[in-house]
Amino acid sequence: MNSTSPEDKQTMLVASLLGMALCTAFEAYGTITAMPVAAEELGHVDWYAWAFTAFLIAQVAAIVMSGRIVDRSGPVIPLIIGSAVFIAGLLMAGFALSMHVLLTARFVQGLGAGTTNVAFMVVVAQGFGKARRATVMSMLSFCWMLPSFVGPVVAAWLTETFSWHWVFLVLLPVLLIMMAVGWRPLMTLRARWTPNESSDPVPVWAAVVAAGGLAAVQYAAQRLGAAAVIAVMGLVALWVSVPRLMPPGFLRVSRGLGSVMWTRGLGAGAFFGAETFIPLLLRSQYDFSLSQAGMFLAVGAVSWAAGSSVQASARLRIRRDVIITSGVASLTGGLLINCVAVWGNLPWPLVAIGYAMGGLGMGLSVSSTSLANMQLSEPQQIGRNTSSLQVSEGLGNSLVTGLVGAVFAVLHGVAVTTVTFGAIQLLALLAAGAAVAASLRIGAVRNESSGVG
């Protein structure tokens, strides 16, 4: 006899989803915090950026493949499989004794995270009524944001007290428990699923080719002229595949959705490409401890939360596209301050100001590009375009982080730290400036929150 009521099952499902969101977000911030020590211990600091791009490249391909599976079999199977793959990646990283194994583990984690990405949102849509979805999404947003405050501090403590391996291993029992808690309501949800074949699916082959192109470009960039053929092959792969993953007019940076995609990808790439090297910058140039560098990451999290709150305010009487442009302009200004601070070896509070401006800009622009995507999409294309927006962010992150990683690999140990990290900030600044240019092409988008436009 099944004594679990529908209300109890929904409570169990909420608890499971919140727990998984907390673990995923903690892993992201924990990795940024612990990676400088891991790279130094494993003897491959020049491979530092690959720990992040390996994750992102795998995630791009997995998002598209997961979307196809969700359409055909529902979100439950991809969620379970993706979680299992993510756990396998955590286990591999937790016992990694070489950089090769750690990078492989990060790739596996990216496959798992990308597989669960789309499924997670569909579970929320299918598992809860319209009245409760907003509440669940609000709780999930809090869970994704909370680790940005406490995750770096906890990760630094684990790394300094025990080992960086524990940043990954500590999540294993929590994820297993959360999966067990959500098992019964997920099985109930699976039984109710009605297949929904997409009339215009995102092609999986294009995602795989794009992922390979990203890896080829980063590999070639770290070897300069010695790998020119590989670089050309990577660029051709991106040229052929990326337009198939995006709305029409993407390559022309057309008004509307094409420009929204470019703005989201370039802006996210600029911010995360620079943020990835923040702990290493603080340790190398400003003599921060790992704990201090971890706490510094909260600056970006707080300002991001502030920007996200501002863009949702009914009192912000400007159009949605203007909010997007303001956001990427704030990001650009913050990176400009960081360039000056790092190149000039100026006091670290200037870096904090620049980082805060960048986080504020991301808070304004990320939510706003998601809203603009929904408003500019035809009803039958919202799902596909949402997938494209996620892919554009992943592509931007991978490409910019890969290129700044190549700059670091070339200059590390050869140039002084001000030049090495200054060049990284400069490359991120150029990407942010391109995001501003793309945002000006979006066109007028109504701000539904304040009724302007």
pLDDT tens-digit series, residues 104-154: 999 999 999 988 887 887 787 677 766 666 567 667 767 777 787 788 889
Which pLDDT score is estimated for 177? 94
pLDDT band at residue 447 using 50, 70 and 90 as cut-offs: confident
d(CA 131, CA 443): 32
Helix or strand or coil: residue 289?
coil
Count of alpha carbons within 13 Å of 130, Cβ hemisphere only?
Answer: 0
Contact 307, 360 (CB under 8 A): yes
Predicted confidence at residue 1, as pLDDT, reads: 42
For residue 22, the one-letter residue type is L
> The domain 249-453: what is its CATH number?
1.20.1250.20
Mean pLDDT of 44-71: 84
- What pLDDT is recorded for position 274? 94
User: How far is Cα 76 from Cα 60, in angstroms, rounded to an integer?
Assistant: 20
* Contact criterion met (CB below 8 Å) for 342 and 351: yes
Kindly report, residue by residue over 392-428, the tens digit of the pLDDT. 998 999 889 888 988 888 888 788 999 999 999 999 9
Is the CATH number 3.40.50.1220 carried by domain 1-197?
A: no
Highest-pLDDT range among 107-121, 270-284, 367-381: 270-284
* 3-class secondary structure, 7: helix
Cα separation values, 365 from 74, 142, 246, 249, 356, Å: 31, 18, 19, 21, 14
CB contact set of 207 (below 8 Å; sequence gap of 6+): 60, 61, 63, 64, 65, 241, 245, 391
Query: Could you please report the per-residue DSSP string of 27-62?
Result: HHHHHHHHHHHHHHHHT-GGGTTHHHHHHHHHHHHH
The C-alpha atoms of residue 6 and residue 8 are separated, in whole angstroms, by 5
Q: What percent of the chain has a predicted confidence (pLDDT) above 90?
A: 40
Q: What is the mean pLDDT of residues 165-188?
A: 91
Q: Identify the pLDDT of residue 162.
A: 94
Pair of tokens at residue 265: 């990808």
SS3 432: helix
For residue 9, name the pLDDT band (cuts at 50, 70, 90): confident
Rounded to whole angstroms, the Cα distance separating 132 from 140 reads: 12
Per-residue confidence (pLDDT) for residue 173, from 0 to 100: 93
CA atoms within 13 A on the CB side of 394: 31
SS3 per residue for 211-265: HHHHHHHHHHHCCHHHHHHHHHHHHHHHHHHHHHHCCCCCCCCCCCHHHHHHHHH
pLDDT higher than threshold 70 for residue 199: no
How far lies 183's CA from each of 17, 71, 79, in Å?
Answer: 11, 21, 11
Cα gap 166→155, rounded to integer Å: 8
Q: For 302-358, how does the pLDDT look when each residue is reduced to its tens digit (9 = 90+)?
A: 898 888 888 878 888 899 899 999 999 999 999 999 999 999 999 999 999 999 999
72-98 residue pLDDT tens: 777 888 889 999 999 999 999 999 999
Token pair belonging to 17: 């989803």
Inter-residue contact 251 to 380 (CB < 8 Å): no
Report if pTM > 0.85: no
Distance CA 152, CA 31 (A): 9
Q: Average pLDDT of 19-25? A: 88
- pLDDT score at 131: 60
